[in-house]
Amino acid sequence: MLWLSRVTYQPHTDDNMKVTALLIICSWLLLGSLGKPQFPEQEKDPKFWNTWAQRTLKNALTLQNLNKNKAKNLIFFLGDGMGVPTVTAARILKGQLNGQSGEETLLEMDKFPFVSLAKTYNTNAQVPDSAGTATAFLCGVKANEGTVGVSAAAVRSQCNTTEGNEVTSILRWAKDAGKAVGIVTTTRVNHATPSAAYAHSVDREWYSDSEMPAEALQAGCKDIARQLFENIPNIDVVLGGGRKYMFPKNKSDVEYPNVLKHSGTRKDGRNLVQEWTDRMKDKKGHYVWNKKQLLSLNPNNVDYLLGLFEPGDLTYDLERNTDNDPSLTEMVEVAIKILRKNPSGFYLLVEGGRIDHGHHEGKAKQALHEAVEMDRAIGRAGLLTSIHDTLTIVTADHSHVFNFGGYTVRGNTIFGLAPRVSDIDQKPFTSILYGNGPGYKIVNGARENVSTIDYQENNYQAQAAVPLSMETHGGEDVAVFAKGPLAHLLHGVHEQNYIPHVMAYAACIGQNREHCLAHSGTAGLRPVFSSIAAILTATRLLC
C-alpha cells in the first residue's frame, strides 16, 4: 500500500522504525482478527466495478434530454461552511451511521445530475465571509465582507454608505412575481445568510438596535431584525432562531425565563413578534416557538408562519432537545407544505448554518452531523416536490481549513485515528485535522497525545496547526449541485453571484424574462412533461 511504502523508505532512526513497524503489524493483526475483509468481497471482482460504471454511463447519456421546463418552484440549500472536504466527510459519516463503511455512500446532493464550482471571494477579500457571499448568491452581485444586501460601494460599518447602494434579492424578485417565499435556518433568522434575502445593512452584526452605534441609529440605519418585518412585510414562512432580538430589552424569554443572556435586547422597546402577530391575525398567520406548536399546525390552514425556536442560534443537532426543538428536516417539510399551496409556486431559502459554527469551534463531529441533517432535509424536499417543475440547488458560501487524511484504511471511522503514529514525535493523530483553530494544544512542551483523551466525544476539538480562538474560513471553490429545470446552466466554474441569475432565468422572474413568452403569448419554455415521461425520467435519475 502507498502509506506502507512511504513508511518503509522515509529516513527514520532505528527506534522510530521499530515503533512504526510494530504499529503497522499490530494494525494488520487487529484487522485480521476482526474476521471480516476491509471492503466488501464483491469489490474484488472487476465485473462489479465495470457493471457499476456502465450503469452510471447509461444514466449519464439520458441527460442529453435536458430539462428545459419553466421552474415553478425554487429551493436553495446553503450549507454554511460546507466545503468539499466537509461534503466528503459527511458522506462517509452518513454511511457509517447506517452501518456501512461509508465511502461508497451517496448523499442526497450526490444524486443531483449537475455539479459545478463557484468562486467564493468577496470584492475585498480573498478568503470570504458569510455576509459578502450571501449577497452574491442571493442578490446576484459580489460585495464586501461583512455587508449584506448592499453593493461593493458600501463600506462596512459606515451607515452613510448604505443609501443608494441597496441591492435586492431573488427572494424579493420571487415575491414581486407573486410566488410564496420562505426562509428556514438553523441560525438566527437575522444572521448573515438569511439577512441578505431581505435586509440592506453595512454591518452583518447589527442584529438589533442594541448592537448598533448611536451615530448609525441617528443617521437612520435600521437593525436587521427590524428590516425582517419591514422591508418585505409579507414573507410567508420564517423559521429559525433569534428570539431575543425581537423583544424589548430585558424582557424574559418564554423558554428560559431565568437566563438573563436570553432576554430581549431591543432598546427601542418594540415587540416585533407581537407587531407581526397583530398584523397577521386575520391572514391565517401563526407564531410558534417550539416543536410541538410547529408540528401541530395544519399547513392547509396556515398562510403565514413565524417560528423562532431559540433566543439565538438553534442548538447543534447532536445536542437538540428532540421533544422541544424541531430538526431542520421538520422545519423544511412544514415550510414546503405551506408554500406549495401558492398556484404560482414558491422560493425557499434553507440554511444549514451551524456546519460553519462547528468548524469555527474546531468541533468536527458537530459540523459533520449538521451536514448530514441538512442532507436529510434535501431528501425530504425532494419527496415533497417534482424535479420537473422545481429547480433545487445545493451549495456552500465558503469552505474551512478542515480536512481529513493520514492514509486511513477503508471503513475507518471518520472521527478515528490515522493508522500510524507520527514519525516525528511518535504520537498518534486523528484523521481529521484543522489548519488553525482552538484545537492547537501543547502539553509539557509537546503535542498532546490524543490517545489519552476521548477524541470521539461530541465536542472534541481536533488538533490544529496554528493556535486561534476560532478556526478560519477556507478560500477554495465550493461545489454547486443542481437538479430540475435548466439545472444544466450550472456547469464548469462560475462566479458565485451567477447562481441567482440562473434561478431567476429558470423561473421567469427578475431580469431576462424575454425568453418566457413566445410571440403567441404562450410560454417559450417547454411545458411540463407528461406524467409518464416524468416518472421515467425520475426513475433514471434516482436509480
**DSSP states along 357-417:** HHHHTT-HHHHHHHHHHHHHHHHHHHHHS-TTTEEEEEEES-EESEEE-S-PPTT--TTSB
Which pLDDT tens digit goes with each residue over 457-466?
Answer: 999 999 999 9
Block residue for cell numbers 421552474: 71
d(CA 414, CA 404): 8
Residue 130 annotated to the active site:
yes
Contacts of 382 (CB under 8 A, 6+ apart): 108, 392
Q: Is 286 annotated as ligand-binding? A: no
Q: Is 191 annotated as ligand-binding? A: yes
Q: Predicted confidence band at 518 (pLDDT cuts at 50, 70, 90)?
A: low
Q: What is the pLDDT of residue 14?
A: 44
Average pLDDT over residues 403-414: 97
Which pLDDT tens digit goes with each residue over 354-385?
Answer: 999 999 999 999 999 999 999 999 999 999 99
Average pLDDT over residues 462-481: 98
Residue 17 has pLDDT above 60, yes or no: no
Q: What is the pLDDT of residue 279?
A: 97
Average pLDDT over residues 169-192: 98
Which sequence spans correspond to the domains of the chain? 66-401+478-511, 406-471
Q: What is the pLDDT of residue 525?
A: 56
Q: Is 519 annotated as ligand-binding? A: no
Q: Is 397 annotated as ligand-binding? A: yes
Q: Predicted confidence band at 5 (pLDDT cuts at 50, 70, 90)?
A: very low
- What is the enclosing helix (H) or strand (E) of 8? helix 2-9
Residue 35 has pLDDT above 80, yes or no: no
Which pLDDT tens digit goes with each residue over 422-446?
Answer: 999 999 999 999 999 999 999 999 9
- How crowded is the C-beta side of 512, counted as CA atoms within 13 Å? 9
Average pLDDT over residues 476-496: 98
- Helix ranges (DSSP H) in 167-221: 170-176, 192-195, 214-218
Q: What is the pLDDT of residue 505?
A: 97
Q: What is the pLDDT of residue 184?
A: 99
Residue 397 has pLDDT above 90, yes or no: yes
Cα→Cα distances 457→61, 327, 441, 462, Å: 45, 21, 17, 11
Q: What is the largest CA-CA distance in the chain?
A: 84
Q: Are 267 and 249 in contact (CB under 8 A)?
A: yes
Q: Is 398 annotated as ligand-binding? A: yes
Q: Is 203 annotated as ligand-binding? A: no
Greater confidence (38 vs 165) lies with 165
Q: Is 193 annotated as ligand-binding? A: yes
The whole-chain average pLDDT of the chain stands at: 90
Which pLDDT tens digit goes with each residue over 233-279?
Answer: 899 999 999 999 999 999 999 999 999 999 999 999 999 999 999 99
Q: Are 98 and 105 in contact (CB under 8 A)?
A: yes
Average pLDDT over residues 229-234: 95
Amino acid code (one letter) for 504: A
Report the first-to-last Cα separation within the chain, whole angstroms.
33
d(CA 431, CA 88): 13
Q: Predicted confidence band at 8 (pLDDT cuts at 50, 70, 90)?
A: very low
Q: What is the pLDDT of residue 62?
A: 86
Greater confidence (540 vs 209) lies with 209
Average pLDDT over residues 447-476: 97
d(CA 83, CA 479): 7
Which pLDDT tens digit goes with each residue over 101-143?
Answer: 999 999 999 999 999 999 999 999 999 999 999 999 999 999 9
Which pLDDT tens digit goes with each residue over 292-343?
Answer: 999 999 999 999 999 999 999 999 999 999 999 999 999 999 999 999 999 9
Residue 219 has φ and ψ, to the nearest 5°, of: -80, -5
Residue 388 has pLDDT above 90, yes or no: yes
Within 10 A of 280 (CB to CB), how many other CB atoms are there?
18
Q: Is 473 annotated as ligand-binding? A: yes
Q: What angle do CA 231, 334, 349 make, to 5 degrees?
A: 45
Average pLDDT over residues 512-541: 52
Q: What is the pLDDT of residue 240?
A: 98
Of the residues 130, 169, 263, 327, only one is catalytic, namely 130
Percent of the chain with pLDDT over 90: 84
Q: Are 334 and 348 in contact (CB under 8 A)?
A: no
Cell numbers given for 200: 440592506
d(CA 502, CA 508): 10
Assign residue 481 a region: left if phi > 0, alpha if psi is -120 to 50, beta otherwise?
Answer: beta
Q: What is the pLDDT of residue 517?
A: 79
Q: Which CATH superfamily is domain 66-401+478-511 in?
A: Alkaline Phosphatase, subunit A (3.40.720.10)
Contacts of 38 (CB under 8 A, 6+ apart): 31, 409, 410, 411
